[in-house]
Structure formats: structure tokens, C-alpha cells
Structure 1
Amino acid sequence: MVVVSGKKVHRYTETTNFSVMGRDQGLLVPSDADAIRILHTCMQILEEQLIQVPSSALEKQTGMLWARKLDYTYDDDKKSRELEHDARRAASYILVDQVSFYHILSLQSPEYPPLEELLGTDPTQLRKYFDKVLFGDYQAVFDFNIVNLLPKTAPVTQAINFVIHTIKNSKIAEIRRDLLGKIFHQLIPMEIRRHLAAFYTSNEAAALLAHLVIDHWDATILDLACGSGTLLTEAYLRKRALMQHPDDSKAHRELLSQIFGNDVAQFAAHLATINLALQGNLSRAERVNVTVGDGFEISPATLMAHDSTFKRRKPSLNGSSEEIVDYPSIDVVLMNPPFTQHKRLNPVEKEKIHATLMQEGLGKYLNGRMGLHALFILHADTFLPVGGRMALVLPANTFSSNYGINILQLFRDKRYSIDFLIERVGSANTFSEQCGLKEYLLVVTKGRRIESDATTLLVTLNTVPDYVEVPLLAEFLEEAKSTRQLNPSIPPEIRFSSIPQEILLSMVNWNSIFQQNTSDGKADSKLDFLFNDPECFIPVINAVQVKIRRGFDGTHIDELSLPNKVWTIATITPSYDMKIQNRYTRENLTIPKRNLLRSFRLPRLYEKIFTPGPQEYLLIIPEHPPLSGDLERYVSAMTEQLNGRRIKEKKEGAARTRNFSRNWYSHTARFKSQNRVGHLWIVWKFNIKTRRGFGFYATEPGAAHNAFYQVVCNNANWEPILAAWFNSSLWVYQLLTHSRSLTSQYHQLMIEDVKKTCLPLLERIKPEFRERIYAAARALDEEVGDSFRELFLAGKIIPLDRAWLEALGLPSDDITPVLDELTQFFHQIFARFELVTDPD
């Protein structure tokens, strides 16, 4: 056994299910799970010794210093300490990788001597092995000076010897090379991925993109934010499959020479190099073009020669020469760029990126709210000639945001053809590991858009096919794109439709296109025909007798509403003054009637169509005259609460800690919230899985903040019947086809989206039909059910839908097809967040 830091550490023989007997005695090749466990044990042994190394040095060597540099929230003490701990984990991972990689290399190349256990107390003896490889071209693997940082003590060298002995005697080197790369990937601690925004692309998504954009073996590939190299590795495999002689001794070397990657984190570039090199014999890989640095500082003009951090050093025997990676013309940019939001970007780094893009002539496309992913799209354009392609993994909200307009303008100006737009639905709607945002796969081609015939293939995947089935899926999609017909053998869980690119390029909400895709692109949609019938409906934007406006600005809404987290309502006196009590101190205060306004604050309290009135109150406190009495005591207590929250958020590393003015309490008075009082309201943001009601009518009016839209009719008698409309499946259909998807379940309705919806022509509905609608709405309120989904699947909303269709004058023969289309639509919608079997 080995002794480390005074503790006995059993060799690998005592930590696995099979014994280490020696290199030539028929040992089993470990399974993936065994290999991960072996290497993880090695990491733990080394991490213990790294406690003695200054964290600042480890952050610099592992590349995790970039997390601190880019995101200023690491100034917070707690988050900073987490980064220090995780830098040690990253360093231990890198050391284990280096030992493993060198061992494999020494088995394949006799020029590299086999690893031997160290003598004495100097861990830098490892450098005599690693430095030999720097004369080759694995700088991204071995140019970490972590060994030089280790203390020269017996426990440290004993820990290293444990790792050497374990790796040499475990037969890890005999695992298939492509699987070994995946094992190293899986070994990355999740907390390290979080610091580096390294939630890597799934193998299936990466393979699909590679098959859609690479059609010749010698295509040059670039990924400016390559992470662990999943996209680059799939590009390599796709290119190798297209070669006539993929097993030729020169093939590995030639393919690697055509693939270029970069990542800001040395840690990630380290893994990308390993993944690519392991695709062939290591002795035949003279060059792996993976570099480390800021991807925005790389451009075709500089050819990466402007900064020493981008040079690929290949010293001559006298140590004087260097080789520089020159980027040729790029055929394909493959990228899953970091999704870092604009508000988390370090202002200095953000300014540098904007300056670079302006120098590249892209200034007119910049928007201050662009995150890193959008900025990388602009930068990637500079590498592509006409005919060059981008294949990207992007957050879906890229194209339901204001800055998305700027990207679409770039696509228009550079005549990009938007070839494929692919979404994934179901319980997981992403293409990256551990990502919480809905994502798209996007494929575009520069300079190849033909105005008269340009279409985009929209693809919805209920499930992502198994890895081995991806090539067939890509073939199906290519065929569908060219013929606009779907191969009948394609699985039913894959849906597609074509859309003219001019429509897509003019839309600020791509999610609505996918929602419409749930009808499988039918040209004879009864619903679409119905909503376009001017005898039945009018677009909101043209409905002059109906005004829809957002509630008042909700700043400090929690502190200016009663009850809240601190204060509960005790009683309301006969004079309508309110007595409140502090939930924690039991202090009692009296709030004057003149400072109270009934209001709607929490949407979850208003799920029924008809409600008696507001259940909450809004405080209206003018700035003058000066505060006094209980009102002053309330404001003082809540000011202290706001201060405490601000301090806590700052300590926890919040991206922004909101400052508040001395007279914050007068916000509702200054914004004249009392002018936003009404009976009829619809929700602004909703969860389609859990929300029951989407609008309500209150007998007693109230004010509401901007979580609601107020609907005001010139004829007040219309408002109750509109509440019934806002809870019909017909309205929810419009909500989902025009709102913006935040996740698979959450949707947001902006005012410009509301204007695209339609309202029934109420003045044409006869009184007897109005009564039927009222009756159906009141009956729906009595039904038991927690959500629209539950009520719809139980058939409880059909009577209200039917009442509306009859009131609009649809013949009975047309009502059933409309209801059937609604049923099909919503079953497909529900399948977006959980697997729901479509009706027969």
C-alpha cells in the first residue's frame, strides 16, 4: 500500500472488483464504469496534495481564472472560495489525464520511454516525460505546469506513484480509443463545467449537425468555443466516413490538419485535444490544432499569430523555433457557444468584444443585450466565404428577443440560407448536457439564399434518435429539404414542415412557427380559416373598441402589497382602516384606508373565470406630506428588509444588486397605479403544464402590476363574456401560437404578440348565445381540476368551446372538425413537456 499524508491508501487491487496481477497476466479490460471509478480515485489522491498549492496559481494554470475574469460575480467571497476549491479538482483531473495520455502514447510510440515511478521527493521528475511530448504537438495536453507547483515532499511523490502504478496496471490503455475519450469527458466534475459554462453538446446532436453540414472529406472545420471537443470529434468521424481510404496511415494526420478548435479555458482545450488525438494512432498525430485563448481575438486577418498564447510551439533541438497555427479558408463553423447573458459579462471584456466586432465591420449588428452566443454568431461570419456553413446549438430565446432582429439582419444582408431549424420537445428539450434552456439546432449557408425559392425545413423531434441512427435521420432530413416530401419510413415521432425563409427572417418570435408546426403544416387548417374569417373575428390591433394595456410597473411590488412575506392582515376595521401584524416580531400597525387600493398581485390566486374581487391590497403612499405614525414605522421596517436582501444578494454573488431610492415607497403613487384599475385581466406569463385560467373577470375592480394585461371595453357589458373567451381552448390555441417559449412549459406574451391575436366580434353574437357562453363558463368554474391540461384532457372545456363556435355561426358539421383539430393540437403541445400518447 501507499502512504499519503499520514493515511494508508490502498492500491487499486483493493478498490476494484478484479485484481491487478501484472501487465502480461491476462487482466480484464475495465468497463466504462470501472475506468471512471479508477481514475476518480486517482483524482482524489492528488487533490488532497493540492491543498498546499496557492489557489491563484491553480486557477491560472487550469484556465479557470477566466471564469473570474469574465464574470464579475466571482468578486463575491463565497463564490470565490468555491472557485478555489474547484480549481484544485480541475488540476487533479488534468494531472490524471496527463499521466494516462502519456502512458498510452508511450505504448504506441517507442520514442517515448515508459513511465516509471518517481524516486525521492521531487514531483517535477514527471517533466522529463512530459517535456519530450512538447517536442511533438500535444501542447494543449502537457503544457500545464501543475507538476511544477507541487510541494517537494514524500507524500506528494507517493501520491503520484499511486496514480502511475494504478494507470499502468489497470489496462485502461486498452479501452477502445473513441470510448476512452468519452470516459475522460464523463470524468469532468460537474462543478467545473458550471464555472466554465461547459455544458457540452450531446453526441447525438453533434453527430446530426456534422452529417447535415459536412459533405466532403477534406472540409475545413472551425469551433471557436470547442469545449471538450464533441462537435470537432463528430466532424472528424463524419469526414473519415467520407474518405475513400480511411485506414490509410496518413488519414489520421490529414484529417486532424483540417480541424481547428479553440477554447478560452485551457482545461477544455486539454480535453478537446485528447478527444481528437484518440480517434487514431497517437504516433500518427503530428498536429492537433486546438488552441487556448479568447476566441474573439482570433480572426482570418491575424491567423492567430498576434499573441504568444495562440502559437503552437514545436521547439527545435536548440529551442529556438516556433510553429504557428494558420487558419485556412473555413468551410464549416460548428459551435455550441457559451450562453453567458449580457448582464453577467465583465464590462471591460464586453467592451473589448464589441470593439473587435466593430473592427470586423459588424458594428451595425451589435446590440447591448447580446449574450456571448449572439456575439459569437457575428464573429463566426468573418471566417466564412460564400458557400460556407454554420451549424449551431443556440438557446431558443435567441430568436424571440430584440437582439435576435440584429442577427436576422445579418442573415439578410449576407444572404444566408436558413437550411434547417430543429427543436427537441418532451421532458428534455435541450441538446446540451445539464442545460436549463430550450435549445435549437440551426444550420445556415452563407450567400446561397435564392429569394424566390428559399425555404427552411422546420423539424420537431419528440425524441432524439440513438447515436447509430443519426446518419439515417440526417439523410431523411436532407431528402425532405430537397423534395419537400417526407420519406414514409421516417419514425412518426419526427415532424417537419417547410416555411419560406422571408417569413422566418421577418419574425421576432420563432417559437410561434414551431407551435404552428403542431398541425403538421396542413394547408386546410379549419382553425386558421376560422380566425381569418372577418365575419367572426377581428385582430386585436384593429379592435378600436377594446384596449389592452400592461399593468403598472411592479418595482417593489412585494414590499408595497399586503399581505406579504413579512406582514399579514389581522383585521379590517369598520372604517376600512387595516390592522396588520409582523409575522416575526408580532408588531401591530394600522394602515389608513386612504393609503390602500385593492389589487391583484399573485396570478395563482386568480385561476377561475369569475372572481368576486381582489384578495390583496396595494399601498399608495405619496412622497409628500412626510411620513408619520404607523405608516412611517411600516416604511422603516420594509426599508430595513430591502437593505438586508440587497446585502444577502451581493454576498451570494447576484449578477446585479438593485439599488433603491430613499423614497422607494412612493413608487406606486408616482406611477399613478390607481389609474390601472379594472375588472378584466389576462396573464402575461404562464406555465402551460400547471396554469388553469388565462384570464378572469372580477365583480369588484382592482389594480394590477405588470404580471397582468388589463382589458378595457368601450361597452363594459362585453368584459364578462371576454373572460369566458380568454379561458376557451380557442384563445389558448392563439396564446401558444403567438407567445414566446421560455422553456418547454413557460410562455411569455409580449404586447406585440397580443396584437397578433384575434377577438370574436361580440356585437354580432345574439343574446341567447351569450347566455349559453356564460352558462358554460360558470359550469367550467365548478369543475374540479388544477390545470388547463387536466380539464382539456377530461373534456371539460369542450362545452365552452362548442358554445363559442355556435355563437360565431359555425354550422354543426364544421364544429366537430374544429374541435378535433384543437384536440390534436393540444395533445401535441402536451407532448412537448411529457410523453403523451396522441389520440388514435
Structure 2
Amino acid sequence: MSIKRTEVGVRDQLINELKELLGIKYYIAEECSIKHREHFIKWKGRNQPDILVFNKEFIKMNEENIEYDDQRAIVSVIDTKSFNEDITKDKYLGQLYRYMADLNVNHGFITNLKDVASHHLTLKRLRKKSSCSDAKEVAKWIVDCITDYYGHLPIPLSITQIIESLNTSMMQLMNYAKLVSIETWDDILKISNLEDEALYKNEDEKINARYRGAAFVILSQLLFYIILRTSRINLNQNMNPTLRPLMTTNGIPDQIQELLNDIKNEINYKAIYKFEVFPKLPDSASEIIKGIIETFEGLSNELVIQHDLIGLLFQRLIPFDLRKKLAAYYTKPLAAELLTRLTFETGDETVIDPACGSGTLLVHSYLQKRRILGINSKHKKLLSEIIGSDISVFATILASVNLAIQNPGKWTNKVNIFNENAFNLPKAQIERFIEDTLFIKKLTKQTSNGTEVIERPGITADVVIMNPPFTRGSRLTNDERKILLKVSEIYGLKHGWRDWNLYSSFILLAPSFLKVGKKGIISLVLPHATISTRYMEKVWQKFFTQTNLGMKYIINASLTEISFSDSSEQELLLVLQKGYKKPCKMIQLTKELKEYDIEELAEEIKKIEKEGKFPSDSNYFEGHQIDQKDFQVMKSREWSFSP
């Protein structure tokens, strides 16, 4: 058989051979229009994939489109090149990866009918066959690969299966970490005494935190490397340095560290790669590490963002029983989206979360700012306007990764996430995660004539957003109580520790992060107890007396959902605004968040603001308004969601 030298000729011959070998179970399509559920897949000016292999069981065809709902519909993407083209070039690999990402397909091929390469993100990464004699041999090799791979993995892993797989791997990594002395992990991880005292209440918890921390550093560093490398390839920018495939190391820890050093030494991201954990692990850990790499290589950047994989990993950072005791909970993505849609107005606002955890609220702040600004949004500028801190050094690593991956096409070395106790921020000289030292501003005590009454810290923003920990005051150390008492004393509050809760101090601290003279907003995820307990009445009364903030919205979770995080407590979303004089909207959701279109829900809530009244009949919520002056002098236990 003579070989046509053009790309079109290569494609035509290959399609004919594939049809003969694959039989009636599969459909071979050439540069077709595709509709996934209700959305057409478009390539926005880029060339379409040359050949797509579909499983007929999962597709519907008409004269114009191929439609499918099930992700198993597309078996593989095949990109063809002219006979003399080098199929190993990064630009061709990047093009194939873009097609695979657009279609959420793990399996792809590149061929020129002489050479053929198979790329499978979840399994074998890369296989290649050279010097094929004709199209029939290329087609047979492709069909053998498809049969082999899909015989072992007929259905892609769900996000739940991925998390469970990584959770198992983490437990196994912790066992290897236990082979290393605690002193070594202390030297590498540098967990502060403050973090130890705040989070871990006995020696066993402190020791396990080192082992778990080492495991999470490994997960975070591997995930970020793979996403960064894939993005650089997609942009034809994987050079100076060239990030090599992690599987070339065969999972050997020392060799992996060499590859990670390419990022740390030549690209930066030192906030993520400053901890050199891999060299301390034995080579016997290589099989576990290989399994983690294979799992991560099967993930697209879009999947990580869509399912908030970083946030789900954070849930494993502190086991639930410990998080429950500490009352440190993970905000649900839909709740974070609703809160940020109600918070940001112009897109130019700066924002800080002083208890950011894995960064879920900051990520949704980023996304909402980007939605508002549209094409005018710049990734680096957006990140420069977002600040977060957390007392857990491991949480700050995850938060840094979470923000950095939001726009894989526009990388930046600087993410303003740092490891610090929020109550130390007013006096902290922080250099760990940002380049410029944050100098302390002069502390002043102000009156309630339109400004704040709290000491002015070195970091300020237009928006403060947070889901603070719910830890009871009785569980705090004496040193922690001394810090919190300073905040309470500014408001003239005196209290015992039996009823006091850490979120009370975070509420009182929040105004200190707002810029003076600006139209600031504070948005909070809080337990219902913040408005239903006797001791909180005094907190709110002092708060409204000594600040210029008004309550804009209080949103109660539905009776079936109860919470906006993975807490079992009933929870609220609160939005406060400087100088706000309009009535407070008391909103009771009637459905679980997953049953709403969050954008529509947010718009319906904003409509109350515009029209000055609740709708007479709403499918979204129930509630009423309370005059702002009346609201601020009422006891918080009287803030009812029923008229």
C-alpha cells in the first residue's frame, strides 16, 4: 500500500483501517461537531481533533452533531501529522493534551503513519512504536492499546474514588514517615509552638501531625508539579527548565526531589517547595508514590477546580474527630460561591481571609472577581488582591496551590498566603510567604463616627471573608486567652471562658482588617449559636455600638441541609457592610444548595435590595426585613427568620 504524504492522506487511510479493526461497537468520527449534555464543545479557533473514537453505546447521532451524556462515550483522541513530521515535539504533545482536556478524555494518540505514540494520563503515561510499515500496522497497534487499557479501566475514577485512593495512599505514606525521627520532621516542617498549642492537645496528636504533614506535603507538591507541567506543555512553554514526567523517576524519592528542584530553583513557588520531604523517605515507598502520580496524572486542571479537590484533601489534613473537637470545618463550595456572589460588587476589591484553611473562600473570591471583570481580569493582579493566612502551615501550602491553579495559562510566582495566627497579624513582621515585610501601622483608638474602634493592623483589605473556627474558650491555652482578651478589652467586653467561643473573637477582630475610609464588607460563615445564645447578645451590641457596620444579610441554611460546611451544627451566612443603613434581610433557604442555580439564587437575594421588599411568592426562600436601627438595638436572640 502506498502512503499518501499529506496529513489528510494519513488521516483517511488510518480511519479506514480503524473502522475495519474496531468493528460495529465503535464509531470513528473526523473533525465533527460534538454536544455534551446541553453544551456544544468548541475549540475557539484551534484546529479540531482529527479523529475521535466513540463507543456507540453512549452516543446519539443526527445530521449535524454527535451528542452524549456519559463520559465513557469518547474512547480516544487521535491526532495525525504529515509523514515526515516529528511526533515527539512538545507543541504536538501540547495540542493533543488540549484536545484531551477539552473533552475530559484520558487516552490519546499521535501518528504520522510511520511512528505512533500513545498517551494515557491515568495509566502508562507514554508508549511509542516506531518504523511502522503501513497504516494497517499503526491502526492495529492503536486498537491493541485501546483494548488493553480499557480492559483494565472501563470507567474513569470518580472524584470520590480519587479521594479514597489518595486517602489510602496518605495512610501508607504516614507509615513510611514514621521510619523517620520526629526531630527530623520538626527540622523540615517547622511546625510552630503556637500551632502545636492551638491545634494539638496532647503529645500523640503532635507526633501524628508531623507524619500527616509529611504525607500532605508529598501530595501537594506532586499535584502542583503535574498541573504546572501539563499547563506549560499546553502553552508550548515547557522549557528553561523543561519539567520532566514524574514517572521517569519510577517513584524513587531522591529522583523525584531532583525534578521538584527544577521548579524551586529555576521557576520559584518556594512557598510550596520549601519543604524537602522526599529525600527522607526510603526507596521502598516508591510503589506508593507511583500510585499517587498515576492518580494525579489522570486528573485535569478543570476537574481539580470543579470538584475543589484541594479542599477535599484539606478535610484529611486534620482527621474529622480532631477537627470536630477543634471545630475547624471545611466550607462547602456552593456556600462559598453564594457568599462571594453577595459580597463582591466591582471586582476590584482586595480581600483577606485570616483563617483561610485550604483557601475555598479565597478561591471563590477569585472566581467572582474574575466573573465580574470578565476579559479585563488578569490572573497576577487578581492574586495580588487576595490575602490569606492560617495557623496551620500545611493548610497554607494547600491554599497556595489552590489559588495558583485557578488559571493554568497565567502562572505567577507570588501567592499571598502565609502561616500566622490571625490574632498576631497586627504585630507580625511576615516574610514567609510574601516578598515585602508588612510594617506595623500606628495604632489608634477611634470613635464610632464612621470609622472603626479597633487597633489598625499592618494588613488591610476592602473585604474580610472567613469561616472562623468554633473552638470553645474553655479549650484554649492561657497564652491564647491573653491574646483574645486584648481584642475583647478594646470593645470593653469582660467575660469568662466557659461560654466564650473563638468565633466571637474573630467577629470582633474582623473590622480591624478593613481599610479606613473605604466601603468595606465583612462576610462570614458562622454557627447559628452566634445569634441564639445569651453571651453573644453582648458581643453584637458592643460590635454595632463601636463600629460603623450594618447587617445586610443573614441567611439560614435549609432545615434539610442545616450547615454550609462539613459541620453538623446549624449554620448561617452573614454579610455586613460599612455605613449600611438599609433594613437587614433575614433569609430562610427552603432547599438544599445543590437544588439551586447559585447564580439565580444570588440574583433573587439582591433583588430584595433593589426592590426594597421580599417577593410575595418565592421558590427560593422565605423571610422578611428588619429596620437597621431596630435590628442593632434588638437582642440577637430576637433576630427571627419569621415575620
TM over 0.5: yes
Correspondence for 2:126: 23
In 1: Cα distance, 2:250 partner to 2:592 partner = 53
What is the aligned counterpart of 2:630 among 492, 495, 503?
A: 503
1:513 aligns with 2:643: no
What is the aligned counterpart of 1:216 among 346, 365, 376?
A: 346
1:477 aligns with 2:605: yes
Kept after mapping to 1: 8 A contact 2:122/2:295 = no
Correspondence for 1:442: 574
In the alignment, structure 1 segments of 5+ residues that lack a partner are 1-16, 313-321, 522-840
In 2: Cα distance, 1:449 partner to 1:163 partner = 50
Alignment of 1:565-580 (within 5 A): none
Correspondence for 2:404: 277
What is the aligned counterpart of 1:154 among 283, 294, 303?
A: 283
In 2: Cα distance, 1:183 partner to 1:241 partner = 21
1:289 aligns with 2:426: no
User: Which amino acid in 2 is paired with 1:155?
Assistant: S
User: Which amino acid in 2 is paired with 1:465?
Assistant: L
In 1: Cα distance, 2:252 partner to 2:335 partner = 45
In 1: Cα distance, 2:511 partner to 2:601 partner = 27
1:456 aligns with 2:559: no
CA RMSD, Structure 1 to Structure 2 (Å): 3.4
In 2: Cα distance, 1:383 partner to 1:449 partner = 18
Pair 1:112–1:375, CA change in 2 (3 A): farther
Kept after mapping to 2: 8 A contact 1:181/1:278 = no
Q: Report the CA distance between 1:141 and its aligned residue.
A: 2.4
Kept after mapping to 2: 8 A contact 1:108/1:283 = no
Pair 1:230–1:118, CA change in 2 (3 A): same
What is the aligned counterpart of 1:402 among 514, 535, 538?
A: 535
Residues 118-138 of structure 1 show CA distances to partners (whole Å, capped at 9, x for unaligned) of 879983444433344345453
Pair 1:184–1:391, CA change in 2 (3 A): closer
In 1: Cα distance, 2:385 partner to 2:484 partner = 27
In 2: Cα distance, 1:121 partner to 1:210 partner = 40
In 1: Cα distance, 2:465 partner to 2:121 partner = 42
Pair 1:59–1:508, CA change in 2 (3 A): farther
Residues 65-119 of structure 1 show CA distances to partners (whole Å, capped at 9, x for unaligned) of 65641268x24xxxx4355345423422331221121122122232352144587
In 1: Cα distance, 2:158 partner to 2:214 partner = 25
In 1: Cα distance, 2:372 partner to 2:122 partner = 42
Correspondence for 1:419: 552
Say which SS state the counterpart of residue 189 (structure 1) adopts: helix
Say which SS state the counterpart of residue 375 (structure 1) adopts: helix
Correspondence for 1:255: 382
1:130 aligns with 2:260: yes
Alignment of 1:175-574 (within 5 A): 176-179=303-306, 181-182=308-309, 185-186=312-313, 188-189=315-316, 191-195=318-322, 197-245=327-375, 251-281=378-408, 284-299=411-426, 306-308=429-431, 310-312=432-434, 323-324=436-437, 329-355=460-486, 357=487, 362-365=490-493, 367-369=495-497, 370-384=500-514, 385-386=516-517, 387-399=519-531, 400-433=533-566, 435-446=567-578, 448-450=579-581, 454-466=582-594, 469-487=597-615, 490-491=618-619, 494-510=621-637, 512-514=638-640, 517-518=641-642, 521=643
Kept after mapping to 2: 8 A contact 1:30/1:172 = no
Kept after mapping to 2: 8 A contact 1:62/1:267 = no
In 1: Cα distance, 2:190 partner to 2:562 partner = 32
Pair 1:41–1:473, CA change in 2 (3 A): same
Kept after mapping to 1: 8 A contact 2:359/2:399 = yes
**Quick one: percent identity of the two aligned structures?**
23
In 2: Cα distance, 1:240 partner to 1:284 partner = 15
Q: Report the CA distance between 1:161 and its aligned residue.
A: 4.7
Q: Report the CA distance between 1:379 and its aligned residue.
A: 1.7
Kept after mapping to 1: 8 A contact 2:315/2:330 = no
In 1: Cα distance, 2:474 partner to 2:485 partner = 14
Say which SS state the counterpart of residue 394 (structure 1) adopts: strand
Pair 1:108–1:424, CA change in 2 (3 A): closer
Kept after mapping to 1: 8 A contact 2:525/2:574 = yes
Pair 1:202–1:181, CA change in 2 (3 A): closer
In 2: Cα distance, 1:292 partner to 1:134 partner = 19
User: Which amino acid in 1 is paired with 2:197?
Assistant: K
Kept after mapping to 1: 8 A contact 2:466/2:525 = yes
Q: Report the CA distance between 1:256 and its aligned residue.
A: 1.1
Kept after mapping to 2: 8 A contact 1:201/1:431 = yes
Say which SS state the counterpart of residue 222 (structure 1) adopts: strand
Kept after mapping to 2: 8 A contact 1:29/1:174 = no
In 2: Cα distance, 1:41 partner to 1:103 partner = 20
Correspondence for 1:97: 220
Q: Report the CA distance between 1:343 and its aligned residue.
A: 0.7
Pair 1:366–1:379, CA change in 2 (3 A): farther
User: Which amino acid in 2 is paired with 1:235?
Assistant: S
In the alignment, structure 2 segments of 5+ residues that lack a partner are 1-119, 128-144, 150-154, 233-237, 440-457
Pair 1:173–1:441, CA change in 2 (3 A): closer
User: Which amino acid in 2 is paired with 1:410?
Assistant: F
Instruction: Give the TM-score taking structure 1 as reference length.
Output: 0.50
Correspondence for 2:135: none
Q: Greater Rg, structure 1 or structure 2? A: 1
In 1: Cα distance, 2:559 partner to 2:624 partner = 19
Kept after mapping to 1: 8 A contact 2:353/2:362 = yes
Instruction: Give the TM-score taking structure 2 as reference length.
Output: 0.65
Q: Report the CA distance between 1:457 and its aligned residue.
A: 0.6
Q: Report the CA distance between 1:375 and its aligned residue.
A: 1.1
Kept after mapping to 1: 8 A contact 2:384/2:415 = yes
In 2: Cα distance, 1:35 partner to 1:182 partner = 9
Alignment of 1:682-701 (within 5 A): none
Say which SS state the counterpart of residue 568 (structure 2) adopts: coil
Pair 1:223–1:96, CA change in 2 (3 A): same
Kept after mapping to 1: 8 A contact 2:352/2:387 = yes
In 1: Cα distance, 2:295 partner to 2:593 partner = 35
Pair 1:129–1:294, CA change in 2 (3 A): farther
Pair 1:95–1:278, CA change in 2 (3 A): same
Q: Report the CA distance between 1:458 and its aligned residue.
A: 0.5
Residues 485-535 of structure 1 show CA distances to partners (whole Å, capped at 9, x for unaligned) of 2346731x611101122332223343x432xx43xx2xxxxxxxxxxxxxx
In 2: Cα distance, 1:121 partner to 1:475 partner = 49
